[in-house]
Amino acid sequence: MDALWMLSVLLVLSVLLLTSSTFVFYFKKFFYVAYMMALAVIAIPICILKCGGRDIENMRVIRFMVRHVKYFLGLRFEISGLQHLQTDGPYVIISNHQSSLDVLGMMEVLPDRCTTIAKKELMWAGTVGMICWLGGIVFINRKKTSDAKNVMCDAANKVLADKIRLWVFPEGTRNQKGDLLPFKKGAFHLAIQAQVPIIPIVFSSYNNFYKRKEREFNSGTITLKILPKIETKGLTADDVTSLADQSYGIMRSAFLEISGKTPQSNGPSSH
């Protein structure tokens, strides 16, 4: 009887997965969150045993454990420009931000001794929040500008002192509108203060396979284009706006190119 019941459930699931795009959307979303939390349960003790607690070296463990998740979601990545990450010393990576799926692309190319800046709410996301903390992720309160500036200042000092790399999303929030949002200035203040180069990474649009409003989540290919580094040596706080605008321009052009989109009018950086 139990076997028959299980067979019936599997049959219903199979029919729904084949016929209902909305069911597929929610099923994949639930699976993604649940599976990442389960992976974190395994990774937490490994990270504690390996490094004794919070340490950027734990990102190696996280990277290793997450890289296979794309296969379960039917995603693949095409990557170009990996040679641009072969840069010695610290630097700041900036990329566009469309959804939590960005984590999968990040883990495809994440260099050693690199962590990211994330919203403070993520710290309370159960086992995922714990593994993020163990990986040395820098948490920022986006609602308090003064706190955010202090975190960025501390992050710049940490980049220099510990010779680490930081991954920042200058749009400041997730965006799936088919273009880039204006950039906030924090990442550029950070890079100039630390006098380290910026390496832009662009994710192609997810709209051909993932549409949140329409409840669609199909298989698809994501293109990651790593652009040449932008030097900041000799730049001062007066150059932040021009640096942000320069970065925005080259990243938006790359985004439209790899996404097969037509250029539209859009603003550069914001304050």
Residue 8 confidence (pLDDT): 55
Residue 177 confidence (pLDDT): 81
pTM of this structure: 0.88
Tokens read off for 5: 């019941």
CA distances from 191 to 57, 140, 214 (A): 22, 17, 38
| Residue 209 near residue 179, CB atoms below 8 Å | no
The DSSP secondary structure of 154-192, one letter per residue, reads HHHHHHHHHT-EEEE-TT-S---SSSPPPBPSHHHHHHH
pLDDT per residue, tens digit, the chain (271 aa), is 566 656 555 555 555 556 678 888 999 999 999 999 999 999 999 999 998 999 999 999 999 999 999 999 999 999 999 999 998 899 999 999 999 999 999 999 999 999 998 888 888 899 999 999 999 998 887 666 666 667 777 777 777 778 889 999 999 888 888 889 999 998 999 999 999 999 999 999 999 999 988 999 999 999 999 999 999 999 999 999 999 999 999 999 999 999 987 665 555 655 4
Tokens read off for 235: 């730049």
Residue 12 confidence (pLDDT): 52
CA–CA gap between residue 242 and residue 77 (Å, rounded): 32
CA–CA gap between residue 170 and residue 109 (Å, rounded): 18
Amino acid at residue number 265 = S
Task: Name the CATH topology of 22-259.
Answer: Glycerol-3-phosphate (1)-acyltransferase (3.40.1130)
Hey, CA dihedral for 172, 173, 179, 181, is it positive or negative? negative
What lies within 8 Å, CB to CB, of 161 at 6+ separation is none
Tokens read off for 216: 């669609």
Q: CB neighbours (10 Å) of residue 233?
A: 8
The DSSP secondary structure of the chain, one letter per residue, reads -HHHHHHHHHHHHHHHHHH-HHHHHHHHHHHHHHHHHHHHHHHHHHHHHHHSSS-TTHHHHHHHHHTTHHHHHTEEEEEE-GGGG---S--EEEE---STTHHHHHHHHPPTTEEEEEEGGGGGSHHHHHHHHHTTPEEE-TT-HHHHHHHHHHHHHHHHHHT-EEEE-TT-S---SSSPPPBPSHHHHHHHHHT--EEEEEEPPSTTTEETTTTEE--EEEEEEEPPPB--TT--GGGHHHHHHHHHHHHHHHHHHHHT--------B--
Q: Could you state, in order of their start, the residue ranges of all structural domains in the chain?
A: 22-259
Residue among 95, 122, 107, 105 nearest 59 (CA) = 107
CA–CA gap between residue 170 and residue 141 (Å, rounded): 14
CA–CA gap between residue 32 and residue 36 (Å, rounded): 6
